[in-house]
Structure 1
């Protein structure tokens, strides 16, 4: 069992790195830049200021360099600063996490209290009308967008 857990934990590392690379690339190949909206809404920002802001965040660096900089910052706990509030993101997370948990934990508990008994009921009455009804209901529930 210990070998299995060790192997699974070691396999998580390349998966997490791979996912982070894919997400990083998707974000970085998206059109535009983080300061474009600020430039359009604030006439006091000159073209030189705009270029300096982009250089300060490494916007013109090659993607591998950007990824390594970003990865080292994230691993050291520096998640950057919010463009809107200018606060460190690491200090924003605990405040936002409380609201997220207040919404998601009751939803998780309620859905578990409903889903587990219905799943057991469906499994004990396999191929019955109730099973088919609950299966269709589950497919509909999974098909509805989360937003």
Structure 2
């Protein structure tokens, strides 16, 4: 399971709720769990919203994936890697994994299979877009970035 998914799911599981205010979400990460500073908790929130793992329902945050399928390992604590920016393909793999509730290895295999099926006529990113679409995963602005990268060249 993707580390960001584990981090995002934990406050909801800890509070046994599918809706949390921004304040409660960040408070859980920074003060209850003591995983990070409030500023970093805000960055995690923003990253999760940007990758469409979290969405707003009114003024509350709710996960856009099934948190019941997320098992938080005993003693889990996020690494510093959670704040490293990912490339488009890594971000796509993480997002599909979270939305489809499958492992990143399974997503990578699906993308590789799709690319082989298309006889390597498309890039890995385009194969990823196709897989995301087939799995019903909304990958939001990532779709726009990849589309622009390949089709709006000047």
For the criterion TM > 0.5, the same-fold answer is no
Higher helix share: 1
Structure number with bigger Rg: 1
TM-score normalized by the length of structure 1: 0.23
Q: Which has the higher contact order (CA 8 A, sep 6+)?
A: 2
